[in-house]
Amino acid sequence: MSTNVPDNQDNQEIDLMLISKKIGNVFQDFNTLLFRCIRFFVKNAVVILILFAVGLAIGLFIDSNKKTYNHEIIVTPNFGSTDYLYSKINLLQSKIIEGDTAFLKEVVGIKQPKTISKIAVKPITDVYKFIENKPENFELIKLMAEDGDVKKIMEDNLTSKNYNFHTVSFSTNKLIIDEEMVQPLLRFFNDSKYYKTLQKEILNNIQVKMSQNDTIISQINGVLSGFSSELKGTKSDKLVYYNENTQLNDVIKTKDALINEQGNHRVELVGLDKVVKDNSTTINIKNTKSTNGKMKFILPVLFVLLFILIRFFIAFYKKQSLKEQHVKA
């Protein structure tokens, strides 16, 4: 056994020498590659600087002339007009794609139709508002959730159109003024004889209901006033008798419910003055996503990389051509 020990040690020493030699070769190859890269950039410094400067100049020119601004309008489609709103926006998008500036200017009323590049609408997911005071919506969500993912159902096109708030977003290549772009769009959304007639009838119904509620509240106040007067002339030992037999609690609860209903109607009327009610508007948000505003950084690097790839391809082609000539020789 003792005779095998030196052999094992010699093998280990040989392995270590081979490993160290390979590591040394790797470092040597890396140094060679680094030297060649430095030499390449030194030899072509003038061309690379020119390409970098040209790319920077072109990038600055593109960034200064090609700007994109995003704009958002949060709206509420009233009177069941959600599908109507979506169809209007789909029509606008098709006209923008077609380049139908006449339609955008004459029908919609946009003074500079070439500035708008796209328009879209999407719902603002709010499941709590969707089921608030609507037991049927809550039951519908429960039923649909049994057969699938709740999040997917909430974002489903059929469900999402029933949300109260929707975001109309559009992009332009220039800064816009509210009166010249947003207001014409809102007028276009609200231009519907059918929904305006429906709006008139619904508002009239609400006013009638509120008037009737005021009458009922006034009558309840009269009953309570009469009861209070009668109570003042009654001895204290009769108080329990009156409290048990006049259904006073039900009358007070009815009045409270009617007052709450009146308050809800007043709030409701604030948002029913338009078929498509605009709740808030945000305009002229500069779009810096993707390559927008970044061409001054992208083009110089791209030009230099293309130059390197072309030179590498030429060198590779020449090298392979020489090898082929030696083989034939």
Q: Is pLDDT above 70 for 130?
A: no
**Can you tell me which residue has the tokens 């006449």?**
102
Quick one: average pLDDT of 85-111? Answer: 93
Task: Give the pLDDT confidence score for residue 56 in this predicted structure.
Answer: 85
CA distance linking residue 89 with residue 123, whole number of Å = 13
The vertex-231 CA angle with 229 and 236, nearest 5°, equals 150
All residues at 6 or more sequence positions from 255 whose CB lies less than 8 Å from its CB, including other chains: 217, 220, 221, 224
CA distance linking residue 224 with residue 218, whole number of Å = 10
* Tokens read off for 150: 């709740």
User: Is 203 in the same domain as 176?
Assistant: no
pLDDT: which is higher, 3 or 91: 91
User: Is 77 in the same domain as 174?
Assistant: yes
Tallying the residues shown for the chain, one arrives at 329
The vertex-74 CA angle with 154 and 70, nearest 5°, equals 105
User: Is 143 in the same domain as 278?
Assistant: yes
pLDDT in tens, 286-310: 877 767 767 788 888 888 899 889 8
Task: Give the pLDDT confidence score for residue 163 in this predicted structure.
Answer: 80
pLDDT: which is higher, 68 or 228: 68
* Residue of 131, 118, 178 lying closest to 159 (CA atoms): 131
Q: What are phi and psi of 204, to 5 degrees?
A: -65, -40
CA distance linking residue 5 with residue 259, whole number of Å = 102
How many domains does one find in the chain? 3
Q: What are phi and psi of 76, to 5 degrees?
A: -125, 110
User: Is 262 in the same domain as 282?
Assistant: no
Q: Alpha helix locations (H) across the chain?
A: 4-43, 45-65, 82-98, 101-102, 127-131, 135-145, 150-155, 157-160, 178-189, 193-232, 239-245, 248-270, 295-328
CA distance linking residue 273 with residue 204, whole number of Å = 12
Please say whether the beta carbons of 169 and 72 come within 8 A. yes
pLDDT: which is higher, 164 or 156: 164
> Under DSSP, is residue 284 helix (H, G, I), strand (E, B) or coil?
strand
User: Is 84 in the same domain as 150?
Assistant: yes
Task: Give the pLDDT confidence score for residue 31 in this predicted structure.
Answer: 78
Task: Report the CATH number that the domain containing residue 125 is assigned in CATH.
Answer: 3.30.70.100
User: Is 154 in the same domain as 279?
Assistant: yes
User: Is 186 in the same domain as 83?
Assistant: yes
Q: Place 1 in a pLDDT band, splitting at 50, 70 and 90.
A: very low
Q: Identity (one letter) of the amino acid at 254?
A: T
Please say whether the beta carbons of 44 and 304 come within 8 A. no
Q: Give percent above pLDDT 90 in the chain.
A: 33
User: Is 143 in the same domain as 279?
Assistant: yes
User: Is 11 in the same domain as 145?
Assistant: no
Longest dimension (CA), the chain: 134
**Can you tell me which residue has the tokens 């809102």?**
186
From 143-147, 173-177, 260-264, 292-296, the region with the lowest mean pLDDT? 143-147
Give the up-direction half-sphere exposure of residue 137: CA atoms within 13 A in the CB hemisphere. Answer: 16
From 33-37, 124-128, 304-308, the region with the lowest mean pLDDT? 124-128
Task: Give the pLDDT confidence score for residue 58 in this predicted structure.
Answer: 85
From 46-60, 140-154, 157-171, 194-208, the region with the lowest mean pLDDT? 140-154
Q: Place 6 in a pLDDT band, splitting at 50, 70 and 90.
A: low
User: Is 150 in the same domain as 218?
Assistant: no
CA distance linking residue 112 with residue 206, whole number of Å = 40
User: Is 147 in the same domain as 56?
Assistant: no
User: Is 75 in the same domain as 59?
Assistant: no
Domain span at residue 221 reads 199-270
Task: Give the pLDDT confidence score for residue 5 in this predicted structure.
Answer: 53
CA distance linking residue 283 with residue 177, whole number of Å = 8
State the pTM of this model: 0.68
pLDDT in tens, 46-95: 888 998 888 888 887 777 777 889 999 999 999 989 999 999 999 999 99
CA distance linking residue 228 with residue 222, whole number of Å = 10
Sign of the torsion formed by the C-alpha atoms of 323, 324, 328 and 329: negative
What's the chain's Rg over C-alpha atoms? 39
